[in-house]
Amino acid sequence: MINSKRFYVFTGKGGVGKTTLSLSFAKYLQSQGKKVLFAALEPSPYLEIYKELSIEFFLLNLLDSTKIYLSKKLKSAVIATWILNTPFFKAMLNIVPGFSYLIFLGHLVDYLRKDPELIVVMDSPSSGYVQTMFESLETYKDIFKTGILVEDIVTMIQYIYQKEFLKVNICTIPTMMSMQEALELKEKLSNLNLEHQIDIYANNSLIANPLINEASELPTFLNKKKELEKEVLIQFQDKIKASLPHLTSLEYAQIVKDLAPYMAPFL
């Protein structure tokens, strides 16, 4: 049985293939006999894909997660519902964004605690999200100072930062600008004590596809693309954990399946 962590967060700038890679990683874990829960924010356009790939998923909905949390804390679902229905509270949730990320994290941590065999793979919406999510832990601990919420935040921090628990996988593509952004993001997250739990992966690489890499009769423009990619991969070679190949299937679910054998480096 492979050694894995408990909580994997996939992040990276928009359009690099976070969702594809996180889904593929979930399939890989399944193939290794692991129990996996795939988490993403509502609404998700991938419902059919989750089902087609037989991936168990959980869509985070702010109001639902908040209601569950408040019900627990105030020991009453009725009160929690009442609070949530006040425009004041709804506006507060919307206006104070880090708050909602805390609630999502809390909900996922709950699942992880209840089932020690479970692994959560989270597909985050964008780079900024993950940064704010982890920063919120410290920020709100500071702001709340006392009360039930702080106790929960402190417990959450201890739980998440324990050894071999969390891994942040930054996805990027082999272009200069994307790589630089990935490095900037890694640096920002390192400032939150996560340095040893972050790796960068280059997706959609022409060179990582052996047929394209070895082909001798490619059109000039594709050769140029390969060249540009090579420059980037060489310049950043010690910063990239692994490269994923460009694949040619026209079916999204098929690409996810085809990538699964490449996913071991994401552990």
Partner 1 sequence: MNPSSKQLEIFCGTGGVGKTTLSASRAVYLALKGKRVLLMTIDPAKRLKDILSLDESLSGEIQTIPKNFIKDRPNESFNLDALLVSPLKTLQKVILQDQGHTQVQNRILQILFRPNGGMNEIMSLLEVQYHLNSKKYDSIILDTPPGKHFIEFLESCDKIRSFFDQSFIEIFQFISEKGFKVDDFSTENENKGKNAKPIKKIFKKFLSTGIKKLLDYLEKVTGGSFIEEFLNAIGIIYKLKTPFLKTIEFQENLKDASFSNWYLVTSIEHDKMVGALDLKKSAQEFLHQDSFMVINKCLEGHWLEWEKNYSQIDKPQVQKILPELNPYLFDLKHSMLTREIKLKEYARKNFPYILEFKEVLSSSTHDQVMELVDQWGV
Interface residues with partner 1 (CB under 8 A) are: 13-16, 20, 45-46, 70, 73-74, 79, 83, 86-92, 94-98, 126-129, 131-132, 139, 142-150, 173, 176-178, 180-181, 184, 204, 211-212, 215, 217-221, 224-225, 228, 231-232, 248-250, 252
Shorter beta-carbon distance to partner 1: residue 195 or 251: 251
Closest approach of Cβ 175 to partner 1, in Å? Answer: 8
Q: How far apart are CA 261 and CA 226, in angstroms?
A: 23
Closest approach of Cβ 195 to partner 1, in Å? Answer: 21
Shorter beta-carbon distance to partner 1: residue 149 or 208: 149
Shorter beta-carbon distance to partner 1: residue 56 or 138: 138
CA distances from 122 to 210, 211, 232 (A): 30, 32, 28
Q: What token pair was written down for 76?
A: 């009453």
Shorter beta-carbon distance to partner 1: residue 193 or 248: 248
Shorter beta-carbon distance to partner 1: residue 2 or 79: 79
Shorter beta-carbon distance to partner 1: residue 8 or 12: 12
Shorter beta-carbon distance to partner 1: residue 34 or 188: 188
Closest approach of Cβ 167 to partner 1, in Å? Answer: 22
Closest approach of Cβ 217 to partner 1, in Å? Answer: 6
**Residue 63: closest CA among 107, 124, 112:** 107
Closest approach of Cβ 223 to partner 1, in Å? Answer: 10
Closest approach of Cβ 148 to partner 1, in Å? Answer: 5
Closest approach of Cβ 198 to partner 1, in Å? Answer: 17
**Residue 68: closest CA among 131, 114, 36, 8:** 114
